[in-house]
Chain A
Amino acid sequence: MTETRRTNLVQTLFPSVLSGVVLGVIGAIIAGVIVAHFVPDNTDAIVVAAYTGWVIFFFIGIGAFNGVWKWGFGRRDATPAEELQLAGKDQGLWRYFRYTTDHKVVGMQYLVTVLAFFFLGSMGAFMIRLEQAVPGAIFFTPSTYNTIVGMHGILMIAATIIMISGPFGNFVLPIMIGARDMAFPRLNALSYWLLFSIIPVFFSTLALGGFPTGWTGYAPLSVQELTPGMDAYCFTLIIFAISTTVAAMNIVTTVMVMRTKGMTWGRLPVFVWGVVLSVILGLTAFPSFLMSQVMVLMDRVFETSFFIAAFGGNNWLYEHLFWFMGHPEVYVIALPSMAAAAEITAVFARKPVFGYRMLVGSLVSICILSVLVWGHHLYTSGSESALDGPYMLDTELISIPTGLFFLVLVGTLWRGRIWITVPLLFVIGMLVNFVIGGITGIYLADLPTDEILHGGMFVTAHFHFTLVGSMVFGFFAAFYYWFPKMVGRRLNPVLGKLHFWLFEIGFVGTFTALFYAGLQGEPRWSANVAPPFVTANLIASLFAILIAVSVFVLVYNVVTAVVRGEPATANEWGAKTLEWAVPTPVPLENFEDLPEIKVLPYDYGATPAKTGSDSVVDAPLQPQAES
């Protein structure tokens, strides 16, 4: 590709995110005005029309339909040069702001988005801790507080769902399996930009009065005509469900058909297994999420009555649809994080994964069992379900494969050569927190104890221990592990360790205090902390200060690393998976010649420990770096 394309300013800006936003705003205004003309009183209809206009015209503006139109009207496929142009060849940083199909660009876009979500979501968390530090609604009105809780919840849940599969599933996974790109590069770009398109939709709720329901959005509260801010919630989740579904199909197809020669299912790195199982689980979970929000929007806009008891609806319908997504979703978050932890442990213990098949079996079992556990969220719903027993059995059966996971990780560390780095520290923190989070989950899964803990602070503390203490710690392990490969710079390990210790101590302190408050019977979602729970909440808030400091340590570390960090080597940690065998920065299309795989990428101890790449792959791996 030596042919030079002359690009002027117009060609640079269109298509790009700029033209997308401009066209999207115009589309939103036009759609809103048209609907307002016909139904001036129906605020919900106007708001939803504006959102729909925004999304459709944003995608026209960013050029998502260009290829479709070219093929549909011109009857011609993109030339190889056009494909490379679409993949962001020679576009510098601007490729991150376009409809770029290169999986590494999409991975970086996801990574930045996830970090931004985490940052904003954690600010919400600190506001919550501020309000709960003292009794009474002092700092925020109850309505503002509820909106903050809901936004914190949605931002964090969205971020955790995509935190591994998005950045690392897109950037690292295709290289790990020896592919040049994802199976559907355009769908890959679509999945990211769908996610991007709902960011302004979601934050528009602040201008529309917020939403009162928290992250669960329970009907019929969400159907009450309080504020149009609820529409932002529903619309965000609908598009989010589509985005994750598109991404999931892409990842599944990629792993099924794009594996390089010799990369059999039995030789897949465990991280790939984790991501694939996670997105397969997501494929079963998210459609019902989407449907529940479509039904809420219909109740709001068209005044149907799916959830209004007075007109034949039922709130249990919402609860079932929601939790049919809501509990598998927890494992959508958990599986890739657990797999990443196993991957990282093997590297830093310089030992093969202790029981590769045992680990894969454990992940598969969790994936299957978790589809049918959602009913434990309805133990106290009053529906007197005959299925409570089976739900309880299924939920607690998950502790068996989870126990295997612990055996695998502890066994991998046992008698290894343990190199305590920041990624491994986060894995250790994850294991410690996951034990606590998992065991407290038993209390909530068991009928007699759930009876006194349901809907209380104990639940909040439990799922923060599993989602934050375990899975977000797993994310940070993966983040510190793959950052040198993705960005090409090293993070400062001293700051990384500081980040870890502040986070771990602050986290355990905060949520142990909340466990105590929950045992005393403090309800969740309390703007107004009642007298018996004041001390525990104050302690929790004080510990949260440590977490807040850790957030800024991370931000400082990342910013300085990106600006003036020392360049990373190709194989920073001495790992044996394929992504460490390609140069840093990874060239477009990843491999000059596709490698052939002979063994699992964990053959530590079997061969002399060097960089290890030649023992994994057969073909010479010297692709030319992108100039």
Chain B
Amino acid sequence: MSDANVNGNPDSTTPAQEPRHLRRALILWGVLSVIGIVLAITLTQFILPVSASDLDNADNVTIVVFTALAVPVALFVFVFLGYSLFAFRTEGRPTEDGIPLQPRPLLQIGWLGITSVLCLFLVIWGMFAFYQETATAAPNTLVVQVTGQQWMWTVNYPQYNASSSGAQVIELPVNRPVRFDVTSDDVLHGFAIRALGVRVDANPGEMSSTPLVTPTRIGSYTVVCVELCGLYHSYMWESVNVVSDAQFNAWITSQGGHL
């Protein structure tokens, strides 16, 4: 964009002594955008929670990228809005009218073009990231069957003939791909583990599978229910423990499963 495009009215000529508003605002916007992008990339590291899987890590990266892209877009509006209010306000009721500007075709096309490119980038990035997540396959996949009911999760490990219904806990071995097959006994529930980037609805009468997710960090995380399921919805919590292979095997045996 240049001065000529926005000062679109051919009749209006800028008097020489008047400040170059557009140039000032654009410079302000550019400087703030650079600072903003740097801040966004550094600060999101502290804002985002610890990620404990490849999936969650990829999703967090997407959040950072989108935030960095969003900063100049948001600042464009903020800067031009703020500048207008600062530079063009009148004291009390205005006695004369503003200059009747109309957008030139070049400005309209340019604006449409830039926003379209941004929008398509988001879509393509999203499709690509999502495809990467869903297209992976692994031979040693651990299958975990999860059944939601009001108001608890029951977990089965069909490959080991084990279940954790008594313990109210999900144990996962680190660095091994896992797939959750989720269903519900009564109403709609939402099975979500933020640290693993896993989120799928538990539908009554249907089995829904998550993409393969590989826990990468040993630690204790939480399953929550993210679809309102009645009275104790906000108490429908359970622990997820990502443990070493040896600990996982010991735990499976202790739950009555066989390796």
Q: Do A419 and B116 have beta carbons less than 8 Å apart?
A: no
Q: Do A397 and B119 have beta carbons less than 8 Å apart?
A: yes
- Give the complex CA separation of A615 and B21 in angstroms: 31
Q: Do A446 and B103 have beta carbons less than 8 Å apart?
A: no
Q: Do B80 and A410 have beta carbons less than 8 Å apart?
A: yes
Interface centre among B47, B102, B188 (most CB of A within 10 A): B188
Q: Do B231 and A142 have beta carbons less than 8 Å apart?
A: yes
CB neighbours (8 Å) of B130 from chain A are 388, 447-448, 451
Per-residue interface assignment for chain B, residues 207 to 241, with 1 indicating a CB less than 8 Å from any chain A CB and 0 otherwise:
01100000000000010111111111111010000
Q: Do B90 and A418 have beta carbons less than 8 Å apart?
A: yes
Q: Do A525 and B59 have beta carbons less than 8 Å apart?
A: no
Please pick, from A396, A417, A435, the residue contacting B97 in the complex, using a CB distance under 8 A: A417
- Give the complex CA separation of A420 and B60 in angstroms: 41
CB neighbours (8 Å) of B10 from chain A are none
Q: Is B27 an interface residue (CB 8 A)?
A: no
Taking CB as reference atom, which chain A residue is nearest B80? A410
CB distance from A460 to the nearest CB of B (A): 11
Q: Do B234 and A382 have beta carbons less than 8 Å apart?
A: no
Per-residue interface assignment for chain B, residues 48 to 89, with 1 indicating a CB less than 8 Å from any chain A CB and 0 otherwise:
110000011011101100100010011001101100110011
CB distance from B13 to the nearest CB of A (A): 13
CB distance from B146 to the nearest CB of A (A): 12
Contact A351-B101, Cβ < 8 Å, known A416-B88, A520-B49: yes
Per-residue interface assignment for chain B, residues 167 to 205, with 1 indicating a CB less than 8 Å from any chain A CB and 0 otherwise:
000000000000000100011101010110111111111
Q: Is A184 an interface residue (CB 8 A)?
A: no
Contact A446-B90, Cβ < 8 Å, known A605-B100, A609-B97: no
Q: Is B123 an interface residue (CB 8 A)?
A: yes
Q: Do B203 and A382 have beta carbons less than 8 Å apart?
A: yes
Q: Do B199 and A442 have beta carbons less than 8 Å apart?
A: no
Contact A212-B230, Cβ < 8 Å, known A381-B203, A609-B96: yes
CB distance from B187 to the nearest CB of A (A): 4
Per-residue interface assignment for chain A, residues 64 to 89, with 1 indicating a CB less than 8 Å from any chain B CB and 0 otherwise:
00000000000000000000000000
- Give the complex CA separation of A603 and B203 in angstroms: 57
Q: Do A382 and B182 have beta carbons less than 8 Å apart?
A: yes
Segment from A42-50, A98-106, A193-201, A401-409 that makes contact with B: A401-409
> A510-533: which have CB < 8 Å to B?
516, 519-521, 523-530
CB distance from B129 to the nearest CB of A (A): 4
> A116-160: which have CB < 8 Å to B?
137, 142-143, 146
CB distance from A321 to the nearest CB of B (A): 14
Q: Do B98 and A604 have beta carbons less than 8 Å apart?
A: yes
- Give the complex CA separation of A407 and B78 in angstroms: 12
> A577-609: which have CB < 8 Å to B?
603-606, 609
Q: Do B197 and A382 have beta carbons less than 8 Å apart?
A: no
CB neighbours (8 Å) of A212 from chain B are 228, 230-231
CB neighbours (8 Å) of A397 from chain B are 119
Taking CB as reference atom, which chain B residue is nearest A346? B98
Taking CB as reference atom, which chain A residue is nearest B206? A382
CB neighbours (8 Å) of B233 from chain A are 142, 146, 523, 525-527
Q: Do B119 and A452 have beta carbons less than 8 Å apart?
A: no
Taking CB as reference atom, which chain A residue is nearest B233? A525
Per-residue interface assignment for chain B, residues 23 to 66, with 1 indicating a CB less than 8 Å from any chain A CB and 0 otherwise:
00000000000000000000000011100000110111011001
CB distance from B174 to the nearest CB of A (A): 20
Per-residue interface assignment for chain A, residues 391 to 435, with 1 indicating a CB less than 8 Å from any chain B CB and 0 otherwise:
011001101100110110011011111111000000010011001
Q: Do A428 and B203 have beta carbons less than 8 Å apart?
A: no
Segment from B107-115, B135-143, B152-160, B248-256 that makes contact with A: B107-115
CB neighbours (8 Å) of B222 from chain A are 521, 530
Q: Do B115 and A349 have beta carbons less than 8 Å apart?
A: no
Contact A449-B62, Cβ < 8 Å, known A574-B93, A605-B97: yes
The size class of the interface chain B forms with chain A is 35 or more
- Give the complex CA separation of A416 and B99 in angstroms: 6
CB neighbours (8 Å) of A436 from chain B are 74
CB distance from A223 to the nearest CB of B (A): 9
CB distance from A42 to the nearest CB of B (A): 22
CB neighbours (8 Å) of B56 from chain A are 452
Contact A389-B228, Cβ < 8 Å, known A381-B203, A382-B200, A417-B90: no
Q: Is A309 an interface residue (CB 8 A)?
A: yes
CB distance from B8 to the nearest CB of A (A): 9
Q: Do B78 and A432 have beta carbons less than 8 Å apart?
A: yes
Q: Do A452 and B188 have beta carbons less than 8 Å apart?
A: no
CB distance from B73 to the nearest CB of A (A): 7
CB neighbours (8 Å) of A304 from chain B are none
Contact A350-B188, Cβ < 8 Å, known A355-B102, A456-B226: no
CB neighbours (8 Å) of B201 from chain A are 380-382
CB neighbours (8 Å) of A393 from chain B are 123
Per-residue interface assignment for chain A, residues 218 to 231, with 1 indicating a CB less than 8 Å from any chain B CB and 0 otherwise:
10110010100000
Q: Do B230 and A521 have beta carbons less than 8 Å apart?
A: no
Please pick, from A143, A388, A416, A439, the residue contacting B98 in the complex, using a CB distance under 8 A: A416
Q: Do A354 and B102 have beta carbons less than 8 Å apart?
A: yes
Q: Is A443 an interface residue (CB 8 A)?
A: yes
Q: Do B62 and A419 have beta carbons less than 8 Å apart?
A: no
Please pick, from A142, A435, A451, the residue contacting B197 in the complex, using a CB distance under 8 A: A451
CB neighbours (8 Å) of A509 from chain B are none
Q: Do B88 and A418 have beta carbons less than 8 Å apart?
A: yes
Q: Do B231 and A146 have beta carbons less than 8 Å apart?
A: yes
Q: Is A264 an interface residue (CB 8 A)?
A: no
Q: Is B166 an interface residue (CB 8 A)?
A: no
Q: Is B94 an interface residue (CB 8 A)?
A: yes
Q: Do A392 and B127 have beta carbons less than 8 Å apart?
A: yes
CB neighbours (8 Å) of A315 from chain B are 187-188, 203-204
Contact A380-B190, Cβ < 8 Å, known A350-B97, A393-B123, A417-B90: yes
Please pick, from A213, A381, A410, A603, the residue contacting B228 in the complex, using a CB distance under 8 A: A213
CB neighbours (8 Å) of A213 from chain B are 228
CB neighbours (8 Å) of A418 from chain B are 84-85, 88-90, 94, 98
Q: Do B204 and A220 have beta carbons less than 8 Å apart?
A: yes
Please pick, from B122, B202, B228, B232, the residue contacting A442 in the complex, using a CB distance under 8 A: B122
Q: Is A314 an interface residue (CB 8 A)?
A: yes
- Give the complex CA separation of A61 and B212 in angstroms: 63
Taking CB as reference atom, which chain B residue is nearest A526? B234
Please pick, from B60, B62, B229, the residue contacting A446 in the complex, using a CB distance under 8 A: B62
Q: Is A454 an interface residue (CB 8 A)?
A: yes
CB neighbours (8 Å) of B112 from chain A are 400, 404
Q: Do B85 and A452 have beta carbons less than 8 Å apart?
A: no
Contact A448-B126, Cβ < 8 Å, known A212-B231, A414-B101, A609-B97: yes
Interface centre among A224, A309, A399, A574 (most CB of B within 10 A): A309
- Give the complex CA separation of A417 and B112 in angstroms: 27
CB neighbours (8 Å) of B118 from chain A are 399
Q: Do A446 and B119 have beta carbons less than 8 Å apart?
A: no
CB distance from A427 to the nearest CB of B (A): 10
Per-residue interface assignment for chain A, residues 365 to 381, with 1 indicating a CB less than 8 Å from any chain B CB and 0 otherwise:
00000000000000011
Q: Is B92 an interface residue (CB 8 A)?
A: yes
Q: Do A455 and B227 have beta carbons less than 8 Å apart?
A: yes
Contact A447-B98, Cβ < 8 Å, known A358-B108, A521-B49: no
Pick 17 A–B contacts, CB within 8 A, sort by A.
Answer: A146-B230, A212-B228, A221-B228, A349-B88, A350-B94, A382-B206, A382-B208, A384-B208, A410-B77, A410-B80, A416-B99, A417-B90, A418-B84, A435-B74, A523-B225, A525-B234, A530-B237
Ranked 7 nearest A-B pairs via Cβ = A382-B208, A521-B194, A309-B205, A455-B226, A416-B98, A605-B100, A417-B94
Q: A220-B204, A435-B74 are in contact. List 18 more A-B contacts (CB 8 A).
A: A142-B231, A218-B187, A218-B227, A221-B187, A224-B186, A309-B204, A352-B102, A354-B103, A355-B103, A392-B126, A411-B101, A418-B89, A442-B70, A443-B66, A451-B197, A454-B226, A516-B47, A525-B233
